[in-house]
C-alpha cells in the first residue's frame, strides 16, 4: 500500500455538549498531524449532534483556524451511532477514523493505526488495555456483555474495542450500503469483515465535562446489540415453553396416578397459584423479548433516515 502520493486521512468526531473541549481537541489534533503534513492530507468531520450548549459556535470558531474542518450540524440529538453514520457519509478520506471528541481516545494512537494500515491492514482496531476510567459496575457489565453477545451471535465483537478504529475506504463504502436505521455500529463494523489487525492503547480520562451515557442508556445499548445480531433470545423461549409443557404433563400424570392408586387428596391452592404465577411470569417475559424484535421491525419498516442534517460548513 506504499505510494508516493499524499493520501487523505479523515477523522470522524461526534460532538455533544462539548463546548469546553473543542479547542483542546483541535490543539491535540494539530500537534499530532503537524509533522505528518508532508505525507497526509487531513480532514476532520465534526458532527454537532444537537448540542444544547455553545458547541456549534465553538466549532465555527475552530473552522476559522483549521481549514481541514467540515462541520455537520444535525437537526437534533440523534445519538452517537447516528452521528458516526453521518460522519462516515461525509468523510472523503482514503482512511476514516472515528474518534471521541473528549480526548479519551488519544490522537497520538492514530499514528499507530495509520502505520498498520500502510502495512496492508484494511481495518485497524484500537483495543483498550484497561478500564481504569470505568466504574466497577461498568467493568463487570462490559465483560459480561461481550461474552454473552459473542456466545449467542454469529458475529463476534472484539472485547474492549469501541468505535475507535481505522477503516480503509473500501470498508467505509461497504458500511454505507447497509440499510439499518436502528444501528449498532460495533456490530456493523464487525459484520463487514475485511483484513483486520489490532493496536493497544490506554484510555485517557476526560479533560472536560462528563459522559452522557448512564446505566440505563448502556443497558438499552446492550439490548440493541443483542437484538440486532442474534435471534437466540426468541429461540430460548421456544425451548423454555416446551420444557414447561413437558413438566406440566409429568406433574399431571403424577397427580393422576397418586389419586387413582393411592387415593391421596390433591394439594390445594398453593401449588396451583405457584404454577399459575410461574407460567404467567414466563409468558410476560417471553412477550417482552418478542416485543423487542417487533419494535425493531416496526422502526425499520418506517424507513426513516438515520439522521437529518441542518447545515454543513466546509
- What CATH number is associated with residue 208? 3.90.550.10
- Is 226 part of any domain? no
Intra-chain end-to-end CA distance of the chain, in Å: 29
Distance CA 37, CA 54 (A): 30
Question: Do residue 95 and residue 16 come from a single domain?
Answer: yes
Question: Do residue 190 and residue 240 come from a single domain?
Answer: no
Question: Do residue 133 and residue 110 come from a single domain?
Answer: yes
Which of 29, 24, 52, 28 shows the shortest CA–CA distance to 42? 29
- Is 218 part of any domain? no
Question: Do residue 187 and residue 240 come from a single domain?
Answer: no
pLDDT at 167: 92
Question: Do residue 273 and residue 147 come from a single domain?
Answer: no
pLDDT means per 10 residues, the chain with 314 residues, are: 72 90 90 88 92 90 91 90 91 92 87 90 87 61 68 74 89 89 81 87 71 61 66 73 73 71 61 70 77 77 86 90
- Is 224 part of any domain? no
On whether the pTM is more than 0.75, the answer is no
Question: Do residue 276 and residue 180 come from a single domain?
Answer: no
pLDDT at 59: 93
Q: Phi and psi at residue 74, in whole multiples of 5°?
A: -80, 155
Question: Do residue 152 and residue 69 come from a single domain?
Answer: yes
Question: Do residue 105 and residue 135 come from a single domain?
Answer: yes
Question: Do residue 129 and residue 247 come from a single domain?
Answer: no
pLDDT at 232: 73
pLDDT at 116: 92
Question: Do residue 201 and residue 247 come from a single domain?
Answer: no
- Is 223 part of any domain? no
CB 229 within 8 A of CB 154: yes
Boundaries of domain holding 170 = 7-213+305-313
Question: Do residue 61 and residue 208 come from a single domain?
Answer: yes
Which of 216, 234, 238 shows the shortest CA–CA distance to 226? 234
Amino acid at each position: 500500500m506504499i505510494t508516493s502520493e499524499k493520501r487523505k486521512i479523515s477523522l470522524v468526531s461526534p460532538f455533544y455538549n462539548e463546548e469546553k473541549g473543542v479547542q483542546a481537541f483541535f490543539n491535540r489534533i494539530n500537534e499530532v498531524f503537524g509533522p505528518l503534513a508532508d505525507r497526509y492530507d487531513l480532514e476532520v468531520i465534526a458532527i454537532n449532534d444537537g448540542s444544547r450548549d455553545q458547541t456549534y459556535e465553538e466549532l465555527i470558531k475552530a473552522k476559522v483556524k483549521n481549514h481541514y474542518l467540515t462541520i455537520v450540524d444535525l437537526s437534533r440529538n440523534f445519538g452517537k451511532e447516528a452521528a458516526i453514520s453521518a460522519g462516515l457519509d461525509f468523510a472523503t478520506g482514503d482512511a476514516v477514523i472515528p474518534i471521541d471528541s473528549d480526548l479519551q481516545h488519544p490522537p497520538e494512537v492514530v499514528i499507530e493505526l495509520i502505520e498498520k494500515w500502510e502495512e496492508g491492514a484494511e481495518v485497524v482496531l484500537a483495543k483498550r488495555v484497561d478500564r481504569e476510567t470505568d466504574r466497577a459496575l461498568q467493568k463487570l457489565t462490559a465483560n459480561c456483555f461481550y461474552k454473552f453477545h459473542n456466545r449467542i451471535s454469529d458475529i463476534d465483537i472484539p472485547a474492549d474495542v469501541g468505535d475507535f478504529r481505522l477503516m480503509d475506504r473500501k470498508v467505509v463504502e461497504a458500511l454505507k450500503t447497509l440499510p439499518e436505521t436502528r444501528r449498532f455500529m460495533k456490530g456493523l463494523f464487525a459484520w463487514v469483515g475485511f483484513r483486520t489487525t489490532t493496536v493497544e492503547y490506554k484510555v485517557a480520562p476526560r479533560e472536560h465535562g462528563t459522559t452522557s451515557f448512564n446505566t440505563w442508556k448502556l443497558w438499552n445499548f446492550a439490548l440493541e446489540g443483542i437484538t440486532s445480531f442474534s435471534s437466540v433470545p426468541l429461540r430460548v423461549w421456544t425451548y423454555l415453553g416446551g420444557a414447561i409443557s413437558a413438566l406440566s404433563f409429568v406433574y399431571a400424570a403424577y397427580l393422576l396416578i397418586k389419586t387413582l392408586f393411592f387415593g391421596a387428596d390433591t394439594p390445594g391452592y398453593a401449588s396451583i397459584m405457584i404454577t399459575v404465577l410461574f407460567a404467567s411470569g414466563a409468558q410476560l417475559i417471553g412477550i417482552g423479548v418478542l416485543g423487542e424484535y417487533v419494535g425493531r421491525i416496526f422502526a425499520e419498516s418506517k424507513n426513516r433516515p438515520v439522521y437529518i442534517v441542518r447545515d454543513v460548513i466546509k
